[in-house]
Amino acid sequence: MLRDVKSLACLSSALAPVLLGGISLTTAAVAAPCGGPGAPTTTQTRCVTAMHIPGNPLNSFDISWVNPARGEYYLGDRSNSGIDIFDTHTLKYKRTIGGFVGIVLLNPTTVDNNHSGPDGVTSHGRWLYGGDGNSTLHVIDLDSPTATATKAVIPTGGSTRVDEMALTTDGKKLLAANNAEDPPFATLFSANGDAPTNSMGPGSILGKVTVDPTIIPSSFGLSLEQPAWDPITKRFLVSIPIIANNPAGCNYGQLSGAITCHGGMAVVDPDLVSGPTVIGVFDALANSGVVPLPACGPNGATVGAGDNVLLGCTPGNQAPPGNPAADTTSLVINATTKNSASVNGITGSDEVFYNAGDNRYYLGASKAFKPAGSPLGSGAVLGVVDGASVLVETIPQSSGSHSVAADSWRNLIFVPQVWTHPGGIGSDANTTAGPGSPTVGSLICGGLSGCIAVYRHDVDDDDERHDRR
């Protein structure tokens, strides 16, 4: 997730009846889901329903994940201080595993994004892993009752959140990024794999991974973001939004003015991580180190077919807005050859997710550009890219929809929608027809408290026309 702070209006689930575009919000709260611009009927990816979460409105959340073998979807829900679990067969809420710090405030209206949690989420078999805002990793046994599901809480040695993470295919090694530390670092754990009981604790930390300070200089707020595991090269691939000297002499923050540096992809060989480990420039022979990227400042990373990796690039890493040097496309790079191709028409992603069920990438592009002439309040979309690295379509989402995950067994795509509270900081800002009009998220959800939008891609219905947007 982007390293920044986010705003929040209210921590209560109570909402007073107010008018939104001439419609009572209490009336809107009982409307049918899958309405408005976020539920088009002409796209290949169709809105199916909305899953709602008991408790506080969904005003702050982070990363999501799907375990198709268990038929479960997981969301790092800061609003309710836990990881929400949904059944992907019935599309119903099951339970929340609590014990996380929840929302931490910088002031009464601003969320401290770097200390709130849960954040990163991933799973293998019965084991669910969640990062928290106090620099700890939670180890959760999904086969245990809710009250006793958390089997370990392991400090990583930082003071800010454990964010996005990835597991090896066998679930025996886990790499988790402390993206908000300065300098940032990642922790490699020996994880539980398919073991029936937990063996993880402080002693399961295999090493701490940092990047050479000539590549990620300290004291400039630079970051490590979403990692992914590549089973072909047997490497972790980690998004780095900004690196120094890409291109040579660029501004990563050491100079005044706009950021002009692009990002990189760290290639991490877990067999070489033992204790403190510094990743340097890319070594092709060892297939390890930081690969400079052309015109991409990535937050997301996901491995698809053919050993290709989609990187969710975002111009938000090169603020201020309107920076002419900002990267405005996404990128697919081959993990073996390091050859890359731009994906035009989509940018501004945080989490990205490959769905093997339909050979497509899904992008939580909450910071996408709004098309000229659009009546919507923001450009936030769900991006859909096919296996040939072609943008298939974009579908409007709530302004906070930066998270996405897919169930490859059922071709279901899950996109959290932030709550709608008119006039409240942290509300969905993606209005449909100007101030006071219904928001995209509220029409998808059929209510104001936020939800998980569920989309389906029916492969047999594809007309394979890639010119639709």
pLDDT in tens, 347-388: 999 999 999 999 999 999 999 999 999 999 999 999 999 999
Average pLDDT over residues 120-130: 98
Give rounded-to-5 percent helix, strand, coil for the chain.
5, 40, 55
Whole-number pLDDT of residue 102: 97
Phi, psi of 57 (to 5 degrees): -60, 155
Task: Break the chain into its structural domains and give their ranges.
Answer: 6-461
Q: Which range is most confident: 9-18, 22-31, 52-61?
A: 52-61
461 is written with which tokens? 């219905």
pLDDT at 19 over 50: no
Q: How many other C-beta atoms can be found within 10 angstroms of the C-beta atom of residue 308?
A: 23
6-461 under CATH 3.80.30.10, yes or no? no
Q: Would you say residue 196 has pLDDT above 50? A: yes
What per-residue confidence (pLDDT) applies to 326?
Answer: 75
375: left (phi over 0), alpha (psi -120 to 50) or beta: alpha
Detail the DSSP E strand segments found in 223-339. 227-230, 235-240, 264-268, 275-279, 289-292, 298-303, 308-313, 330-334
Please state, in angstroms and as integers, the Cα–Cα distance from residue 288 to each residue in 1, 22, 84, 282, following that order: 24, 58, 36, 6
Q: Please indicate whether residue 317 or residue 411 has the higher confidence score (pLDDT).
A: 411
Contact 64, 414 (CB under 8 A): yes
Chain-centre distance for alpha carbon 264: 18
Helices (H), ranges, 321-455: 440-445
Mean pLDDT to the nearest integer, 70-97: 98
At residue 23, the pLDDT reads 35
Confidence check: pLDDT of 109 > 80: no
**Averaged over 287-299, what is the pLDDT?**
96
Give the chain's end-to-end CA distance (angstroms, integer).
25
Reference 279, options 349, 350, 207, 221; nearest CA is 207
pLDDT of 155 > 80? The answer is yes
Q: List Cβ<8 Å contacts ≥24 apart for 257-261.
A: 258/318, 258/319, 258/320, 258/323, 258/324, 258/325, 258/326, 259/317, 259/318, 259/319, 259/323, 259/325, 259/326, 260/318, 260/325, 261/318
> What does the pLDDT average to over 131-157?
98
- Asked whether the predicted pLDDT for residue 461 surpasses 80, the reply is no
**What is the Cα gyration radius of the chain?**
21
Average pLDDT in the chain: 91
210 falls in which pLDDT band (50, 70, 90)? very high
